[in-house]
Amino acid sequence: MTIKQLSVFLENKTGRINDVTKTLAKYNINMHAFSMAEATDFGILRLIVSDVEKAVEVLRAENFAVMLTDVVCISCPNVAGSLSVILDNLAKEKIFIEYMYAFAQGDTANVVIRPNNIKSCVEVLERDNCSIIKEEYL
């Protein structure tokens, strides 16, 4: 149970993130989650969106460099220590987390995880009865 994440490579220049958001808005594509990582000359905007295929199409048409990646999105209680238990279980199974980002809403926290071994990650999460969010529920 994975979802597709867009990675958009952007020059470190004022307004470039807004260029992406305006393009998506123009085509009624909603951003469910995003994260921005910065390097010296460029940034990587990672996005979970409502219509992945359309987003890739329109962003590439506007000359953005876009890459698709499989990620796992989980839901857990928004209380101290709940994510720690999940990450401990993944670490015990030697699953390395390349990166992750999260957003909380009330009593629930949603976490996007990019593991080194997505299949094993999903198996551990399912074994431990973690709530994995399917793309159709975003």
pLDDT tens per residue across span 89-101: 999 999 999 999 9
Residue 112 corresponds to which tokens in the numbers above?
A: 């996007």
Residue 40 has pLDDT above 80, yes or no: no
Total H helices, total E strands in the chain: 4, 7
pLDDT of residue 136: 74
Name every residue whose Cβ is closer than 8 Å to that of residue 78 and which is 6 or more positions away in sequence.
Answer: 104, 105, 106, 107, 108, 109
Q: What is the mean pLDDT of residues 21-25?
A: 97
- In the chain, what is the straight-line distance between the N-terminal and C-terminal CA atoms, in Å? 13
Per-residue model confidence as pLDDT tens digits over 41-59? 889 999 999 999 999 999 9
pLDDT of residue 13: 84
| H/E stretch holding 60 | helix 52-61
Residue 39 has pLDDT above 80, yes or no: no
Residues of each domain in the chain carrying CATH 3.30.2130.10: 3-69, 71-137
pLDDT of residue 14: 87
| Rounded Cα–Cα distance for residues 99 and 111 (Å) | 11
pLDDT of residue 67: 97
**Domain at 3-69, CATH homologous superfamily:** VC0802-like (3.30.2130.10)
**CATH (one of 3.40.50.12780, 3.30.2130.10, 3.20.20.70, 3.90.550.10) for 71-137:** 3.30.2130.10
| Rounded Cα–Cα distance for residues 20 and 26 (Å) | 10
